[in-house]
Amino acid sequence: MKSLNKAGTSFQTRSTQRHIAGEQKANAMKRRLARGLGSTALGPVVTAVIQLGTVPLLLHAWGAAKYGDWLMLSAVPSYLTFANLGFGDASGSDMTARVARGDRKGALETFQSSWALLLLVSMAVLLAASAVVWWIPWRQWMHLSSLSNRQAAWIILAMGTWVIVGQQGGIIESGYRCDGNFATGTFLGTMLRLAETVLATLAGIWTGSLLSAALTYLAARSLGTFAYGLLLRRRSPWLSLGLKYARRERIRQLAAPAVGFMALPLGNAAGLQGFILLIGFLSGPIAVTAFSTLRTLARVNFQLNAVLAWAIWPELSAAFGAGDLALARILHRRAYQAGVASSLLISVFLWFAGPWIYTAWIRHAVSFDATCFHLLLLVAFANSLWFTSSVVPMSTNAHHLLTMAFAAASLGSVAAGWVLIPAMGNAGAACALLLVEILMISLVLRTSLCQLHETFAEFAGGLIRLPSVRTLASLVGQA
C-alpha cells in the first residue's frame, strides 16, 4: 500500500511538473509572439510614414512626371531579388526547426552554406548587371521625361546594388529568427528601412537628383547591414558568417524550398513592379504615379496581414520541428481570423473614406480613379483570404509548388494587363491582379490544411472557437 501511495504521489508530482513546464512554455511562446507582433506591427507604421510622407514630398519637389521616372527606374532592380535564390527564407525555416530540436550545429551549417552560395551568386549577378545596364535604351523604352540613358543606367545600377546588399541582410535575419530573437531582428530591419528612406528622401529633395537619392539608399543600406551582422554576432555568438561549416549537401537539401522562395519575390515583382513598368510603357509616367498611389492606399490591408504572418512564422517552424500539429493548427486559425477580420473592416472603411484620404494625401497632383481603387480594395481583401495560410507551408519549406504557381499566375496577370489596360485604363491592371488572388485562395488553403492534417470543415469550425489559456498551455507542454 505504501508503495502504491508513493507511486501515486510521484505520478502526481510529475504531472504537476509537466503542467508547470507546459504553462512556462506557453507563457514564453506568448511573450515571443507579443514581441514578434509588436516588432512586425511597427513595419506597417513605418511603411505608412514612408509612403504618406515621401510621396507628397517627392511629388512636390520633383513633379508627377519626374516622380513617375523614379518609380519606373527603382522598379527595375526589384527583379534582382531572384539573385538570393530564396536561401534567406529557406535557411530561416530550416534553422528554426533545427534549433527547436537542439541541433545548433546543423543550424550553423545551414547558415554558412546559404550565405556562401548567396555571396557567390550575388557577385556574379552584380557583375553581369554592371556590364549590361549601359547598353539598354531606358529613355525610349520607359518614355522617361527627365533623364538620359546613361543617367538612368547609373540609377538602376545603384538601386540594384542596394537590393544585393539587402539580400545579405536576409541571411543575417534568419540567424535572429532561429535563436528566439525574431522581434529584435525585425525591429532593427524596420529601423534601417526607415533611416535609409529618410536620408535618401532628404538627399533627393536637397539636390533634386534621382541619382543622389539612389546612392544615399545604397550607402545607408551598406552601413546598416554591416551593423546588423555585428549585433547578431553579439546576441548569438555561436552563429558566425564564414565558410568553415558550409556544406554542399546542405545546399542541395535546401535547393527545392529555396527555388520556391525565389519564385515568391519574382511573383511579387511581376505583380507590383511589373505593372508599374507595363503602365509606364503603355500610358506614361503620370499614369504610373496615379496607379502606384492608389495601390499604396488600398494595400493597407496587406501590411496588417503581413504583420500576423511574419510573427507566427518562427513559431510555426518550431511547432512543426517539435511535431506539435495541434499547436500549429491553433496558431494558423488565430492568425487567419485576425487577418480576415481586420482586412474586411479596413476595406469597408477605405471604400467610403478612401477618396477623401487620397485627395488630402496627394492634393490633386493626380486625379482619383474610383473604379480602379475599388477593384484594388477587392484585390487586397482577396489576398487576406490566403496570404496568412501561405506561411504554413513556408514554415516547413514545403511551399515551392505554391510559390511557383503564384509566380506563373503573376506573370500571366501582366500578360492579361497588356490586353486590359488599353481598353480599361488602370482599372484593367486591377482586374488582372484580382484574377491572381482568386486563384491562390483555393491552392493555398488546400495545401495548408493538408499539411496541418485538417479538413476544411474542422478549420471553419475552429475559426469560431477560441482556445482557453489552459488548453494552449497543455498543447505547448506536450511539445
Q: What is the pLDDT along the chain (479 residues), one digit of tens a residue?
A: 555 455 455 545 545 545 455 555 656 666 766 676 666 767 777 877 787 778 888 888 888 888 888 888 887 776 665 545 555 666 777 787 788 788 888 888 888 888 887 888 788 888 888 898 999 888 888 778 778 889 999 999 999 899 889 888 888 888 888 887 878 888 898 899 999 999 999 999 999 899 999 999 999 999 999 999 999 999 888 888 888 888 887 777 766 666 656 666 667 767 777 888 888 888 888 888 888 889 888 888 787 777 777 778 778 877 887 778 888 888 888 888 888 888 999 999 999 998 999 888 877 777 889 999 999 999 999 999 988 888 888 887 676 677 788 888 888 898 999 999 999 989 999 999 999 999 999 889 998 999 898 988 888 887 776 544 444 444 344 44
Is the dihedral angle over the CA atoms 465, 457, 394, 327 positive or is it negative? positive
Q: Are the C-beta atoms of 175 and 95 separated by less than 8 Å? A: yes
> Cα–Cα distances in Å, from 341 out to 192, 301, 305, 348, 463?
30, 10, 10, 11, 11
Q: Are the C-beta atoms of 81 and 266 separated by less than 8 Å? A: yes
C-alpha cell at 99: 534549433
**Residue 394 backbone dihedrals phi, psi, to 5 degrees:** -65, -30
Which letter does DSSP use for residue 363 in this model?
Answer: T
Q: How far apart are CA 465 and CA 455, in angstroms?
A: 16
**Cell numbers 508599374 label which residue?**
276
Q: Are the C-beta atoms of 429 and 417 separated by less than 8 Å? A: yes
- Work out the widest C-alpha separation in the chain, in whole angstroms: 95
Number of other residues whose CB lies within 10 A of the CB of residue 373: 22
Q: How far apart are CA 49 and CA 266, in angstroms?
A: 26
pLDDT at position 155, please? Answer: 92
Q: How far apart are CA 8 and CA 64, in angstroms?
A: 78
The pTM of this model reads: 0.64
Which letter does DSSP use for residue 242 in this model?
Answer: S
Is the dihedral angle over the CA atoms 158, 284, 274, 347 positive or is it negative? positive
C-alpha cell at 367: 486625379
Q: Are the C-beta atoms of 161 and 155 separated by less than 8 Å? A: no
Please give the single-letter amino acid code of residue 338: A
Q: How far apart are CA 367 and CA 277, in angstroms?
A: 20
Number of other residues whose CB lies within 10 A of the CB of residue 449: 18
Contacts of 5 (CB under 8 A, 6+ apart): none
C-alpha cell at 154: 547609373
Counted residue by residue, the chain has a size of 479
pLDDT at position 28, please? Answer: 64
pLDDT at position 475, please? Answer: 39
DSSP-derived 3-state class of residue 322: coil
Q: How far apart are CA 163 and CA 158, in angstroms?
A: 9
Q: How far apart are CA 7 and CA 63, in angstroms?
A: 81
Q: How far apart are CA 98 and CA 426, in angstroms?
A: 46
Q: How far apart are CA 32 and CA 269, in angstroms?
A: 31
Which of 433, 77, 143 has its CA nearest to residue 288?
Answer: 143
Alpha helices in 85-148, H assignment, sequence order: 87-100, 104-132, 138-142
Q: How far apart are CA 321 and CA 283, in angstroms?
A: 50
